[in-house]
Amino acid sequence: MADEKVSPDALAKIHHGFRAMILSRTLENKLSSLYKAGKIVGGVYLGKGQEAISASLGTVLIKGKDVYAPLIRDQAGRTAFGEDLLDVTRTYLGKVTGPMKGRDGNVHRGRPKEGMPAMISHLGASLSYIAGMLFARRLRGELNDAIGAATFGDGATSTGAFHEGLNLAAVENLPIIVLVVNNSFAYSTPNDRQFSCDNLISRAEGYGVTGHEVDGTDFLACMDVMTQAAESARAGNGPQLIVANALRLCGHGEHDDAKYIPAELRAQSRDCIEVAESQMQENGFLSSEEIANIKQESKVQVTEAVAIAQREPTPDPRKDDWQALGMKNTIL
């Protein structure tokens, strides 16, 4: 990479992705301390260690055009895609001003009409949903070169929903990036209790889709793979299965100390943020001062987003309309 000439556009994307990583890490550190201080409503699930993967996917997607179903560890991807920071803090703090109005929380937030569905908890369920969004557009002749993306963990690959969704997307030849982040564990469950193939990427052939594998701690490699996969999907080559490997650098949720992750494994693994910082400097993409500035700006942004949300009201049960249906005719 260092030797290759990087186009201005590519450089802008790299910058964008890197900023998202830093902002995400800053935000998640803040969420973690808010959680420990008892300020958060419900659980906190972080994506530490997976920012390079997530941010690079969010970066190659185009908001207002593409559709993206992030999962629990996709703060970086959401940020890169263009999610408002206030959506995050308002949701975690259970504010009625957030997109879920306090009706749902934490990672279950989204804005389906802006291309980002709000995940249900059931793993695997978002894949067919994203497929359907693209299907509807193609039916209407409005797909053009828009694409979709959805994230899953190694554990989610064991769900019937994942299988049915990926197979259906392949049969319908829909332009979807199906990102599997293999972080070696599903909650406490190691890979060898989750699947018995050597490498999940070997599933691509069985679905008849293109497969890509990448070291998820290598930010520039992630950017490359995501860019390729997005281009291939936009060009009409159907689903792109990406398997990205990176250890999760936190518990399953902030309530979990993750002591089931063997110390050797932790010791071996590197933090994608550190890798990305060196990559930015080594390639002359950013100086150390610029990086420090980004970090500083991120802190300011996060502090501000938390502060704004904190002043806002929580939902008032007497004002909620308690309607599960949108229709409000006389009988319904």
Q: Which residue of 79, 97, 128, 232 would you call a contact of other proteins, by CB under 8 A?
A: 128
198-237 footprint of other proteins as x/- string (CB under 8 A): ----------------------------------------
Could you list the residues that contact a copy of itself (CB under 8 A)? 158-164, 167-168, 170-171, 173, 192-198, 200, 202-209, 238
Between 304 and 313, CB nearer to other proteins: 313
Contact partner at residue 2 from a copy of itself, Mg ion, other proteins, none, CB < 5 to 8 Å by partner kind: none
Q: Which residue of 119, 176, 186, 243 would you call a contact of ligand TPP, by CB under 6 A?
A: 186
CB of 203 to a copy of itself, least distance (A): 3
Are 219 and 191 spatial neighbours (Cβ–Cβ below 8 Å)? no
Q: How many CB atoms lie within 10 A of CB 207?
A: 18
- Tell me if 186 contacts Mg ion by CB under 5 A: yes
Between 44 and 272, CB nearer to other proteins: 44
Crossing angle of helices 51-60 and 219-234, rounded to 10°: 30
Between 162 and 285, CB nearer to a copy of itself: 162
- Tell me if 81 contacts ligand TPP by CB under 6 A: no
Segment contacting other proteins (CB under 8 A): 23-31, 155-163, 266-274, 299-307?
155-163
- Tell me if 260 contacts ligand TPP by CB under 6 A: no
- Tell me if 113 contacts other proteins by CB under 8 A: yes
Residue 201, classed as helix, strand or coil, is helix
- Tell me if 122 contacts ligand TPP by CB under 6 A: yes
CB of 149 to ligand TPP, least distance (A): 16
- Running DSSP on this structure, what letter comes out for residue 42? S
6-45 footprint of ligand TPP as x/- string (CB under 6 A): ----------------------------------------
> H-type helices in the chain, by residue range?
8-36, 51-60, 75-81, 85-92, 126-139, 160-171, 203-207, 219-234, 263-268, 272-282, 288-311
- Tell me if 37 contacts other proteins by CB under 8 A: no
- Tell me if 246 contacts ligand TPP by CB under 6 A: no
Half-sphere exposure of 15 (CA within 13 A, CB side): 14
CB of 177 to a copy of itself, least distance (A): 16
Length of the chain: 332
CB of 48 to ligand TPP, least distance (A): 11
Count of residues in contact with ligand TPP, rule CB under 6 A: 16
- Running DSSP on this structure, what letter comes out for residue 61? S
Radius of gyration of the CA atoms of the chain, in A: 20
Phi/psi at 20 (5° precision): -65, -40
Residues 6+ apart with CB under 8 A from 295: 22, 26
Between 32 and 167, CB nearer to a copy of itself: 167
**Of residues 140-169, which lie at the interface with Mg ion (CB under 5 A)?**
153-154
CB of 142 to other proteins, least distance (A): 9
- Tell me if 74 contacts Mg ion by CB under 5 A: no
Residues 6+ apart with CB under 8 A from 1: 220, 224, 279, 283
The first and second tokens of residue 142, run together, are 């409005």
| DSSP labels, 119-156 | --SSTTTHHHHHHHHHHHHHHTT--TT--EEEEEETGG
The owner of tokens 């959805």 is 150
Q: Which amino acid is at 6?
A: V
